[in-house]
């Protein structure tokens, strides 16, 4: 599998929190060739792929990336056919006005829509920005027709085809966290190729509902019961409008290895050492409190799991124009490969 094709495929699929079945299906298919047993999709839309089950007494490594994305959910249809929606996850209200969206309703192909708003020329010179829970979607149909196409709970995503900006830079919606999913798939494929030489169990989890509190991941991690975990997500790469001394993760400079109270320092140090030894570029990210990722949930599964966090640097998180560097995705996969190989005493 090629990193760029994986991201291209994954970023166009719909998978808003709680409505991830499409993206789960696509990921399950991508895992199938290298999964040791049939890939599972559970009731939460989590995708679980076993690379190697642990033997008695061996450590069990869980590699996780969340597969959901932020978006909206339809709550009702107004008399003029506009769809009332509620946000799923941290939707950014500053850039929603008149943005193109897709409503994933009854028809097989998504319904094009626009986030409705009153342009300033008609009213005041600068209309106040709409609150995120007051937003509506215009799909250009009467209420009667809209009712045949859309129903409560249908999800809404940004309408933005993924594309390459230049060389290794890639842009699109939902790169948080489909770029993490791509890294996980690449790592899974490489680990499966050398499964006979591993000394630990390895399971891939593509977790659901991270953007709304990690419910999916929590349930699956309980079921899998790992001893060790590495979570892959995206994190902030500084832009012009961010304090440069605080946010230091640069695009293209490799995965960011996380340090936080909930993360295993021993595991993080080991990741850093492994990266250096194998000439994998990496950076660090220090978080004094919560990580704001599935790592927070996984680390406290059952009696506790030694957890590490690899973050792919990203610009413009939670916008339809998120940007990542493909090389960071590949390096993240490499680092997971080396860790999986070493855990339990494997040597390369």
Partner 1 sequence: MTLIERIQMLADAVGTPGNEVEVRRKISSLLPDECTRHIDALGNLLVEKKGAKTPGKPIMVSAHMDEPGMLVENADLTGGIKFSLSGNLDLQTLSGRRVWVLSGGERLPGVIGIKPVHVLRPTEPDDPMPADDLFIDMGFTKKEEAEKLILPGDAAAFSGEVKPFGDRMIRGRALDSRSACAVLLALLEEELPFDITAVFTVQRETGSAGMKTAAFQVQPGAAVILESCPAADLPTLGAKKDSPKLGGGPALSLREQKSFYDQELFARCMELAQREEIPVQVRSAAFGSGDGLAAQTSGKGTRVLELGIPSRYPLTPCCVQSLKDLDNLQKLLLPLIGELGELL
Pick between residue 121 and residue 279 the one whose CB is nearest to partner 1: 121
Please report how close the Cβ of residue 183 comes to partner 1 at its closest, in angstroms.
20
Q: Does residue number 236 form part of the binding site for partner 1 (CB under 8 A)?
A: yes
Q: Does residue number 95 form part of the binding site for partner 1 (CB under 8 A)?
A: yes
Cβ neighbours of residue 65 closer than 8 Å, sequence gap 6 or more: 177, 180, 181, 183, 184, 205, 206, 207, 231, 232, 233
Pick between residue 48 and residue 146 the one whose CB is nearest to partner 1: 146
Among candidate residues 51, 344, 59, the one with its CA nearest the CA of residue 204? 51
Q: Does residue number 140 form part of the binding site for partner 1 (CB under 8 A)?
A: yes
Q: Does residue number 317 form part of the binding site for partner 1 (CB under 8 A)?
A: yes
Q: Does residue number 107 form part of the binding site for partner 1 (CB under 8 A)?
A: no
Q: Does residue number 239 form part of the binding site for partner 1 (CB under 8 A)?
A: yes
At residue 315, the 3 state secondary structure works out as strand
> Please, is 20 exposed, middle or buried when counting C-beta atoms within 10 Å of its C-beta (0-12, 13-18, 19+)?
buried
Indicate the DSSP class of residue 188: H
Round to whole Å and give the CA distance between 99 and 174.
15
Please report how close the Cβ of residue 66 comes to partner 1 at its closest, in angstroms.
15
Look up 58 and say whether it is catalytic. Answer: no
Catalytic residue among 20, 210, 211, 322: 210
Among candidate residues 265, 276, 262, the one with its CA nearest the CA of residue 331? 276
Question: Binding string to partner 1 for residues 141 to 160, with x set by CB under 8 A, is what?
Answer: xx--x--------------x
Residue 83 near residue 103 (C-beta atoms within 8 A): yes
Please report how close the Cβ of residue 11 comes to partner 1 at its closest, in angstroms.
13
Residue 251 near residue 257 (C-beta atoms within 8 A): no
Q: Does residue number 108 form part of the binding site for partner 1 (CB under 8 A)?
A: no
- Token duo for residue 191: 């680990």
> Where along the sequence are the contacts to partner 1 (CB under 8 A)?
78-80, 82, 84, 90, 92-100, 112, 114, 116-123, 126-127, 129, 136, 138-142, 145, 160, 163, 165-167, 169, 171, 236, 239-242, 247, 252, 292, 315-323
């Amino acid at each position: 599998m090629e990193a760029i094709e994986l991201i291209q495929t994954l970023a166009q699929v719909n998978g808003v929190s709680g409505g991830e079945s499409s993206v789960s299906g696509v990921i399950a298919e991508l895992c199938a060739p290298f999964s040791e047993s049939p890939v599972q999709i559970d009731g939460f839309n989590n995708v679980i792929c076993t690379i190697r089950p642990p033997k008695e007494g061996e450590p069990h490594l869980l590699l996780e990336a969340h597969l959901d994305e932020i978006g909206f959910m339809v709550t009702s249809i107004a008399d003029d056919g506009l769809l009332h929606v509620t946000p799923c996850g941290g939707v950014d209200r500053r850039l929603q006005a008149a943005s193109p969206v897709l409503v994933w309703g009854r028809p097989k192909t998504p319904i094009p829509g626009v986030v409705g708003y009153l342009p300033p020329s008609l009213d005041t010179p600068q209309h106040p920005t709409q609150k995120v829970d007051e937003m509506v979607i215009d799909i250009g149909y009467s209420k009667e027709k809209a009712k045949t196409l859309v129903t409560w709970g249908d999800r809404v995503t940004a309408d933005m085809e993924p594309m390459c900006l230049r060389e290794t830079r890639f842009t699109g919606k939902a790169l948080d966290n489909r770029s993490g999913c791509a890294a996980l798939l690449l790592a899974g494929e490489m680990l499966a190729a050398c499964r006979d030489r591993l000394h630990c169990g390895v399971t891939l989890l593509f977790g659901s509902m991270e953007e709304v509190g990690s419910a999916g991941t929590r349930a699956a991690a309980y079921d899998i019961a790992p001893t060790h975990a590495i979570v892959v997500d995206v994190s902030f790469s500084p832009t012009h409008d961010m304090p440069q001394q605080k946010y230091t993760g640069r695009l293209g400079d490799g995965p960011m290895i996380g340090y936080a109270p909930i993360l295993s320092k021993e595991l993080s140090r080991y990741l850093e050492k492994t990266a250096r030894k194998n000439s994998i570029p990496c950076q660090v990210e220090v978080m004094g409190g919560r990580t704001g990722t599935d790592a927070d949930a996984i680390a406290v599964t059952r009696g506790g799991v030694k957890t590490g966090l690899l973050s792919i640097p990203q610009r413009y998180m939670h916008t339809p124009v998120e940007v990542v560097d493909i090389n960071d995705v590949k390096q993240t996969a490499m680092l997971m490969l080396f860790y999986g190989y070493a855990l339990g005493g494997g040597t390369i």
